[in-house]
Structure 1
Amino acid sequence: MPRVKKPAKVKEPIRLRMKELANGNKSLYLDIYRDGKRTYEYLKMYLIPETDNNARVRNQTTMAAANAIKSKRIIQLTNGEAGIETREKVFLLDWMETYKENQAKRGKKDGNQIQVTIRILKNYAGERVTMDQIDKAFCQEYIDYLLTEYRPKGKQVSNFTLHTYYRILNGALNAAVRAEIIKVNPFTKINNSDKIRLPESKRSYMTIEEVRALIAAPMKNEAVKQAYLFSCFCGLRISDIISLKWKDVFVDRGQYRLAVSMQKTKEPIYLPLSPEALKWMPERGEKTSEDHVFDLPSPTMINTLLKPWAKAAGIDKRFSFHTSRHTFA
Structure 2
Amino acid sequence: MRSTFKVLFYLKRNKDKKQPVVPVMGRITVNGSISQFSAKLSVPESLWEVNGGRAKGRSVEAERINRHLDNIRTQIGKHYQSICDRDSFVTAEKVKNAYLGFGEKYRLLLESFEKFTSDLQKRVGIDRSYGTWKRYHKSIDHLRSFMHREYHVSDIPLAELEQSFIEQYHVYLKSILGLKPMTVSGYLKCLKYVVKIAFNNGWMPRNPFALYQYTAPNPVRNFLTEEELRRMMTTRLRYRRQDYNRDMFLFSCFTGICYADMASLTYDQLEQDTNGDWWLSGNRQKTETKYVVKLLPYPLFILDKYRGLAGNRYLFKLSSLDSIDDSLKNIARECGIDKQLSFHIARHTYATTICLSNGVSLEALSKMLGHKHITTTQIYAKVTQPMIDREINMLREKLGSKFSI
Of residues 301, 304, 309 in structure 1, which corresponds to 2:331?
309
What SS does the corresponding residue of 1:85 show, helix, strand or coil? helix
Deviations 1:139-179 (A, max 9, x none): 2x33543456x489967665445435532431122112321
The number of residue pairs the alignment matches comes to 256
Counterpart of 2:203? 181
Query: What percentage of aligned pairs have identical amino acids?
Result: 21
Counterpart of 1:33? none
Q: Report how far residue 235 of structure 1 moved.
A: 0.7
The answer on 1:102 being equivalent to 2:116 is yes
After TM superposition, list the pairs within 5 Å mapping 1:22-61 onto structure 2. Answer: 60-61=17-18
**Residues 281 and 64 (structure 1 numbering): CA distance in 2 closer, same or farther, change over 3 Å?**
closer
Given that residues 245 and 289 in structure 1 are in contact (C-alpha distance below 8 angstroms), is that contact kept between their aligned partners in structure 2? no
The CA RMSD measured in Å over matched residues stands at 4.3
Given that residues 329 and 340 in structure 2 are in contact (C-alpha distance below 8 angstroms), is that contact kept between their aligned partners in structure 1? no
**Residues 58 and 158 (structure 1 numbering): CA distance in 2 closer, same or farther, change over 3 Å?**
farther
- Paired with 1:90 and 1:250, the residues of 2 have a C-alpha distance of 54
Structure 1 residue runs without a partner (length 5+): 1-56, 75-81
- Paired with 2:226 and 2:174, the residues of 1 have a C-alpha distance of 44
Amino acid of the structure 1 residue aligned with 2:200: R
Amino acid of the structure 1 residue aligned with 2:338: D
Of residues 240, 243, 247 in structure 1, which corresponds to 2:261?
240
Of residues 140, 160, 172 in structure 1, which corresponds to 2:194?
172
Amino acid of the structure 2 residue aligned with 1:228: F
What SS does the corresponding residue of 1:320 show, helix, strand or coil? coil
**Residues 181 and 167 (structure 1 numbering): CA distance in 2 closer, same or farther, change over 3 Å?**
same
- Paired with 2:209 and 2:232, the residues of 1 have a C-alpha distance of 47
- Paired with 1:245 and 1:154, the residues of 2 have a C-alpha distance of 44
Deviations 1:3-60 (A, max 9, x none): xxxxxxxxxxxxxxxxxxxxxxxxxxxxxxxxxxxxxxxxxxxxxxxxxxxxxx9992
- Paired with 1:166 and 1:285, the residues of 2 have a C-alpha distance of 42
Given that residues 247 and 289 in structure 1 are in contact (C-alpha distance below 8 angstroms), is that contact kept between their aligned partners in structure 2? no
Given that residues 246 and 288 in structure 1 are in contact (C-alpha distance below 8 angstroms), is that contact kept between their aligned partners in structure 2? no
**Residues 282 and 99 (structure 1 numbering): CA distance in 2 closer, same or farther, change over 3 Å?**
same
Of residues 125, 136, 140 in structure 2, which corresponds to 1:114?
140
Amino acid of the structure 2 residue aligned with 1:113: S
**Residues 212 and 106 (structure 1 numbering): CA distance in 2 closer, same or farther, change over 3 Å?**
same
What SS does the corresponding residue of 1:200 show, helix, strand or coil? coil
Amino acid of the structure 2 residue aligned with 1:106: L
Q: Report how far residue 214 of structure 1 moved.
A: 1.0
**Residues 151 and 72 (structure 1 numbering): CA distance in 2 closer, same or farther, change over 3 Å?**
farther
Q: Report how far residue 216 of structure 1 moved.
A: 1.6
What SS does the corresponding residue of 2:340 show, helix, strand or coil? coil
Counterpart of 2:217? 199
- Paired with 1:227 and 1:155, the residues of 2 have a C-alpha distance of 33
Counterpart of 1:7? none
Of residues 90, 114, 120 in structure 1, which corresponds to 2:101?
90
Instruction: Return the TM-score normalized by structure 1.
Output: 0.61
- Paired with 1:126 and 1:226, the residues of 2 have a C-alpha distance of 49
- Paired with 2:269 and 2:298, the residues of 1 have a C-alpha distance of 18
Structure 2 residue runs without a partner (length 5+): 1-13, 27-34, 39-90, 122-132, 352-405
Bigger mean CA offset, 289-298 vs 196-205: 289-298
Given that residues 227 and 281 in structure 1 are in contact (C-alpha distance below 8 angstroms), is that contact kept between their aligned partners in structure 2? no
Deviations 1:213-244 (A, max 9, x none): 11120133343333222211111122333332
Of residues 145, 170, 174 in structure 1, which corresponds to 2:168?
145
Does 1 or 2 have the higher relative contact order (CA < 8 Å, sep 6+)? Answer: 1
Given that residues 25 and 36 in structure 2 are in contact (C-alpha distance below 8 angstroms), is that contact kept between their aligned partners in structure 1? yes
- Paired with 1:309 and 1:65, the residues of 2 have a C-alpha distance of 63
Q: Report how far residue 323 of structure 1 moved.
A: 1.6
Q: Report how far residue 328 of structure 1 moved.
A: 0.6
- Paired with 1:283 and 1:258, the residues of 2 have a C-alpha distance of 17
- Paired with 1:67 and 1:118, the residues of 2 have a C-alpha distance of 31
Amino acid of the structure 2 residue aligned with 1:85: K
Q: Report how far residue 95 of structure 1 moved.
A: 4.0
Counterpart of 1:322? 344
- Paired with 2:23 and 2:307, the residues of 1 have a C-alpha distance of 78
Q: Report how far residue 121 of structure 1 moved.
A: 5.3
What SS does the corresponding residue of 1:302 show, helix, strand or coil? helix
The answer on 1:218 being equivalent to 2:218 is no
Of residues 267, 270, 275 in structure 2, which corresponds to 1:249?
270
- Paired with 2:107 and 2:210, the residues of 1 have a C-alpha distance of 21
